[in-house]
Structure 1
């Protein structure tokens, strides 16, 4: 019998590789606003250490002396425009789910696990992604954006998830792709499985209970880099989540 009661997942980089769509949306918003800069991949990778899109823009503007200074109102409008551009890109181009995501969510729902989406992206971005990916209505709980005063790596959003789902410490497993997500989930008492994304593969995940290339599919097995191995099938399933939980409790 699987003892895990809930599965909690991040969105960007975890459910799908959406960060390139976000980067393009930021750059289009900057061009529209006449701002004299563009974020390339190396710069964006560094900026992802700052969670939250508006916070990321503000951090960038503070870090570069020649960058224009924007009022709080202008910053909010710029971020809102970026989100609208991201939604348009998402609906035009799509963002395929990473291997194993749809399979594992289906297995978890069938087994009666609670499912939560726990993300720093805005509620609008989260809603657009769920609609375009076919995951609308799959999650019992969606927590996004500024629902808590401090974003990941602060554990506030995972503490809220525990409260809303009625979970005790260690009764759910979190799936994240970044160190900020790992620290957030661990801080609220969740064992963590990491599936590194495009921009996070070289981060430090030494505190995670497991690290897997992705969630795996039959015929498309994942490599398991840390924690329990998944046997011949090479997929993260409910039994594997229980192993991850066991590694956290020992």
Structure 2
């Protein structure tokens, strides 16, 4: 079996439940620009199938009768305003990491396993999140926003990480919360461990090498829904990640 050289994490929904802050920021931006849009939770869950905030907004405008057809530059302007609102919400309210995230990151860093953040959110959002949660400096590589031309489920961002770190297929494990992220990780040649978020609970993860509601902690182990030790409760540590890696290679 190949050795474990890297753990590659998505951000929104995977490291923390940030999507409600994003949804609120979008709605405030719509009101500011006078756009005939309001995203409730059901609408936002549907739109999350489109990765990337600008791409999501463009799709929503195209689907909404009577909505203006903004140019890409105008969409980007609305999105820049939304990003400013999101950053203010993040500074004001903060966000808690999901169970087990801080522990697993610390364990991996101590063991010399490279940590990668691979997210479709903007670099500004990613930097503010890492600063606000005390994770700045944890990741060897941060890939965010438009660093690749096409976003998940396209594998580009994970292929870029592979190239940057010189990883062979299977030498890293991806941690994701969405089907788009799952497909991107698999296509890039990585086994994928999925911990669905509030907005992705109903998505299809049948191809995942492991499926758990969260990463677990010593006092709160996670039930394994799919993958190694299915039916048991585990704390996802590096040993379990290596089991996921081995599960993928068999």
Q: TM-score, normalised by structure 2?
A: 0.97
Contact 1:230 1:236 in 2 (8 A): no
* Secondary structure of the corresponding residue to residue 225 of structure 1: coil
Provide the C-alpha distance between the structure 1 equivalents of 2:134 and 2:146, rounded to a whole number of angstroms: 24
Counterpart in the other structure of 2:65 = 65
Counterpart in the other structure of 1:114 = 114
Counterpart in the other structure of 1:98 = 98
Deviation per residue, 1:131-189 (Å, 9 max, x gap): 10100110000001100000000001000000011100000000000000000000000
Provide the C-alpha distance between the structure 2 equivalents of 1:44 and 1:183, rounded to a whole number of angstroms: 21
In the alignment, does 2:235 pair up with 1:229? no
In the alignment, does 2:238 pair up with 1:238? yes
* CA spacing shift, 1:84–1:246, aligned 2, 3 Å: same
Per-residue deviation at 1:231?
9.1
Q: TM-score, normalised by structure 1?
A: 0.97
* CA spacing shift, 1:213–1:2, aligned 2, 3 Å: farther
Long gaps (5+) in structure 2 = none
* CA spacing shift, 1:37–1:232, aligned 2, 3 Å: closer
Counterpart in the other structure of 1:174 = 174
Contact 1:2 1:239 in 2 (8 A): no
Instruction: Give the total of aligned pairs.
Output: 250
Provide the C-alpha distance between the structure 2 equivalents of 1:233 and 1:76, rounded to a whole number of angstroms: 44
* Secondary structure of the corresponding residue to residue 163 of structure 1: helix
Long gaps (5+) in structure 1 = none
Counterpart in the other structure of 1:188 = 188
Provide the C-alpha distance between the structure 1 equivalents of 2:101 and 2:110, rounded to a whole number of angstroms: 14
Deviation per residue, 1:176-219 (Å, 9 max, x gap): 00000000000000000000000001111010100011000001
Per-residue deviation at 1:90?
0.5
